[in-house]
Amino acid sequence: MDTQPWLMGGVGIAICTPPLGMALATFLFKKKFTKQEQEAGKAAAIMGSIGISEGAIPFAANDPMRVLPSIVAGGIVGCVFGFLTNVLLHAPWGGLITAPVSSNIPMYVVGIALGSLTTALIVGFWKPVAEEEVEDEIAEAAPTQAQAAPAAGEGEYDIVAVTCCPSGVAHTFMAAKALEKAGAAAGSKIKVETQGQNGIKNRITDLDVANAKLVILAHDIQVKDAHRFANAKVIECSTKEAMKKAAELIQA
């Protein structure tokens, strides 16, 4: 069977660079990936070694706008390198597993390394720090003695806050946690309403607003029922600002 060795030389390299590149990225840029993604990186390394491109699918599904261009760039670099160095591959497959049947094993492996490194560097520098890493940093930064905010009833809070983000999940609750911890550290009674994916939780009442000294609106989308805070002292910020500068906001 004619496998077009001249063509497969480059293709065989490009087949495995997506999963191998993502696996390398999870190793070089650990803070950019969640623990679950880091585990997926181990599986991707194995899959890439035996020429299964699908090892990159979990990463592409989670972050297509950054991952897809990165793996395409890596594949192009590896493929072109294979063509330029006249690597021939006598197998209708790819990956490190087919290296023994290539015409130039060293260049074949170098092509895989270059393509994988290209993908890893692009996605690694492009991706932001993983959300759970930000959450861990917030937890570490909070004083250990401030485990919970002082207990308070309706209308007894010093500060009330609302958090919301487009997904209604990660940043909404991470910002809420950061504000609660900062409030506890400052000895302030704080109530945080989350407008998340499952609706409004811990709703702020009119009495809460009337007696609060400060209202913090940490939002990336429009706050629901914002008219409640029309006559209050209000500070507005993004959820990311609330996560990173919670202490400053509480003391404003």
* 97-110 confidence digits (pLDDT tens): 999 999 999 999 99
Please state, rounded to an integer, the average pLDDT across all residues of the chain.
88
- Which domains are delineated in the chain? 5-128 (no CATH), 132-250 (3.40.50.2300)
Asked if pLDDT for residue 248 goes beyond 90, the answer is: yes
pLDDT at position 144, please?
39
Mind listing the pLDDT tens digit for each residue in 148-175?
455 678 889 999 999 999 877 778 888 9
Asked if pLDDT for residue 141 goes beyond 50, the answer is: no
DSSP-derived 3-state class of residue 237:
strand
Q: Which residues are catalytic?
A: 165
Q: Is the pTM of this model over 0.75?
A: no
Asked if pLDDT for residue 126 goes beyond 60, the answer is: yes
